[in-house]
Amino acid sequence: MGLTFYVNEDVLIPRQDTETLVEQVLAHHRDKKIKILDMCTGSGCIAVSLKKLGGYADVTGADLSPEALAVARRNGEAICGADGPVFVQSDLFAAVDGVYDVIASNPPYIPSQVIEGLEPEVRDYEPRGALDGGADGLTFYRRLAAECREHLTDGGSVYFEIGCEQAADVTGFLADAGYSEIEVIKDEPGLDRVVRAVYRYAGGLNV
């Protein structure tokens, strides 16, 4: 996204794949007054990019790791100054209050047994907690599909980065959870990379 991020051993190195997610949010949401949550924020690259490039008034990043949050705050201050995102420590939504117009997430999505076969520069130097998506790599998507509903405005959107072979499973979780307008977006090389969906409340607003 043309921005320079600080990273260390506590966070994943931002990759081009994640630009696809950021670009989709920027393209679909022109209203600067919306509230955005970046769940599993890591280095803060999504939250900071959206705040800097989208100019959104209210951007929050959440992560379980206090070490990752220290990196995210450093990036927010360096790139956005005093007007950067707010970062909170939370086990998914445990410490997150309120509702958001957009929830974006690049959660851990590599199956546990696959991690040992990754390239050494990833396996040995990036935090396992940011890689390990459980036995099938889909643990976080199951929870996100269910839990995001309680933290979205009526008609709010989710954007999930996915592994390129996970689109069918993730779209299935979202459909089963009642989301609509589900869309799979490909990255620059043509691989499935982002799933977008909308959640509408049949009985009115979620408050």
One DSSP character per residue, 114-131 reads: GGGGS-HHHHTTS-GGGT
The mean pLDDT of 100-107, rounded to a whole number, is 96
Candidate from 7-16, 64-73, 135-144 with smallest mean pLDDT: 135-144
Check: pTM over 0.85? Answer yes or no. yes
pLDDT tens column, 36-85: 999 999 999 999 999 999 999 999 999 999 999 999 999 999 999 999 99
pLDDT of residue 120: 61
How high is the mean pLDDT of the chain? 89
The mean pLDDT of 99-113, rounded to a whole number, is 82
pLDDT of residue 132: 52
- The span from the CA of 121 to the CA of 15, in Å, is 14
pLDDT class of 207 with cuts at 50, 70, 90: very low
What's the length of the chain?
207
- The span from the CA of 1 to the CA of 17, in Å, is 11
pLDDT of residue 130: 52
CATH architecture of the domain with range 16-199: 3-Layer(aba) Sandwich (3.40)
pLDDT tens column, 143-181: 999 999 999 999 999 999 998 899 999 999 999 999 999
- Compare 90 and 205 and report the one with higher pLDDT: 90
pLDDT tens column, 177-201: 999 999 999 999 999 999 999 999 8
- The span from the CA of 34 to the CA of 39, in Å, is 16
